Structure 1
C-alpha cells in the first residue's frame, strides 16, 4: 500500500470533506505516513475555499487503535520537533495542536476501538461523535506511561481521568458522551448518516465567521491553562518511560523478539479486556 492509499478522501455533501484512515488490517494504527497524510489533508481542507468542515473516520472495524508500535516512529516524522529526553510525546502533541489551531472545524467519527494515540487524535478534533458500542481507553498506562496528550482531566474531570489512568480500562461510546469526551453517541449503523447531518449543519455557517466561533471556545480553554497543561504532560510521559517497570516492559519489543500483539496480550491478559476479552487459557 502506498502512502497515498493510507488515507481516502471524498466529499459526501457540499462544503464537507471526509477523510478515511485506511489501514484496517492494523486497526488504523498511526505510523508516520498516516500521520503525515492526515496533517496534509486537514491543511488542504483549511486552505480550500470549497471546504467548510472535515470529517475524520477509520476504515474497517475500528477508528484507531493507537500509535503503530511495530513501526520505527523516530524515522521520517512529518515535521521537526526540538530534541531532548524522549521527544516523542512532544512530537505528537505538537501535531495535535496543529489540528487544534486550524481555522475550520474537524469532526471525529469514532467506532470500534479508539485507544491511546487514537483517542488523542479524536480529542484534537473539534467535535466527536461515537458509536454507542465504541471502546475508548488508554491501556498503555498499565505498563508504559500515562498519555502523551493528557486530555482526560480537561475533558472528563478529575475522578474519571484518575480511574482511566489507574486502571487503563476502556469506556463505551455511551459513557464517553456522558463523561464529556464525545458530543453524542449513536447506534453504530447510523453513525455515518448522523455525522454527515451534523457536518452539513456546521457547513451552513460561513468559514470566516466559523473560525472565530471555534477560536472563542479554544481561547476559553487556553485561558484556563489547557494548552500549558497538555504541554507539561509531555514531560511526565517522558519521565514515566525512565521508570524501571516501563523500561523492562519495552525492552522486550527488541530483546525477546515477541510480536507486538503478544506484548499487548501480556499487558492486558491480567485485566481480561481489549484483545483478551473472553479468552481462556486454552485460547493462548
Structure 2
C-alpha cells in the first residue's frame, strides 16, 4: 500500500516496491536529535517488515544531508540521556539505543539500501550517509568526522564506514586529521559509488541502471 507521512523530523514514503526516508529538519541542518533518530529507526523497522518493499532510499531536504548529532541542551535534544544519567549514573544505555543500534539496523538491513547525499554529511550524519549498500553523491557533497578531534580513538559506532570502505592508512588519515572529503575524492577512495551533477538526477540514475522499471 502506498504511503506518505510527514512526521516531526522525517518524511516516510512507500511507493510500489520503494520505501523512502527523507530527513526533514532543514532548519536545524537535519541534526540527529532523539526524535529524528527514533523516527528513522522506526521507519527502517516498518520497511523491513513490509514484504512489498524491495529497496530503501535514504535522502534529505535542505542545504545538506545531515550535520550529525545535535549539540546543545540534552534536556531538549536527548531527554533519554538525562533519564539514563539519573537512573544509572551514565547515559551510555540511551546513547547506544539512539546511535549504535539504529546504525547497525541500517548496516544490516535485509533489503538493498541507497543513500542520496548532497551538501554536508558530517559527524554522526556519515553513519546514515555511508552505511547503505549504494551511495550516490551530488557534486556538492562532502564528508567529515569532527568528533574524533574531541573524543579520541574512534568508538565502535564511528569505525564501520572508514575502516571497511577505505584501507587502514587512508581511514586513519581521514579520521585523525579531520579531513574534508569532497564527492570526487570520496569516489576515488571508495566511500561512494557515483557522483551526479545534482541530487534531483537520482530518478535518471535509477533509469540508467535499469532499476526504476524493475522496482516500480
Could you say whether these structures have the same fold, taking a TM-score greater than 0.5 normalized by the shorter chain as the test? yes
Instruction: State whether residues 89 and 149 of structure 1, in contact with CA within 8 Å, keep that contact through their aligned partners in structure 2.
Output: no
Higher helix share: 1
Structure 1 position 149 matched with structure 2 position 158: yes
Query: Which one of the candidate residues 76, 100, 113 is aligned to 2:107?
Result: 100
Query: Which one of the candidate residues 9, 24, 27 is aligned to 1:6?
Result: 9
Other structure's SS at 1:63 match? coil
Structure 1 residue aligned with 2:3? none
The ranges of structure 1 where at least 4 consecutive aligned residues each deviate by more than 6 angstroms after the TM superposition are: 83-86
TM-score w.r.t. structure 1 length?
0.62
Q: Cα RMSD (Å) of the superposition?
A: 2.8
Instruction: State whether residues 64 and 119 of structure 2, in contact with CA within 8 Å, keep that contact through their aligned partners in structure 1.
Output: yes
Instruction: State whether residues 52 and 203 of structure 1, in contact with CA within 8 Å, keep that contact through their aligned partners in structure 2.
Output: no
Q: Displacement of 1:198 after TM fit?
A: 7.5
Higher strand share: 2
Task: Compare CA radii of gyration and give the structure with the larger one.
Answer: 1
Q: In the comparison of the two structures, how many residue pairs are matched? A: 198
Q: Distance in 2 between matches of 1:70 and 1:154?
A: 31
TM alignment of 1:8-157, pairs within 5 A: 8-11=11-14, 14-72=16-74, 74-76=78-80, 87=92, 90-91=96-97, 92-147=99-154, 148-151=157-160, 152-157=162-167
Query: Which one of the candidate residues 169, 189, 198 is aligned to 1:159?
Result: 169
Q: Distance in 1 between matches of 2:30 and 2:56?
A: 18
TM-score w.r.t. structure 2 length?
0.79
Q: Displacement of 1:46 after TM fit?
A: 1.3
Q: Distance in 2 between matches of 1:117 and 1:103?
A: 22
Q: Distance in 2 between matches of 1:195 and 1:84?
A: 49
Q: Distance in 2 between matches of 1:118 and 1:154?
A: 17
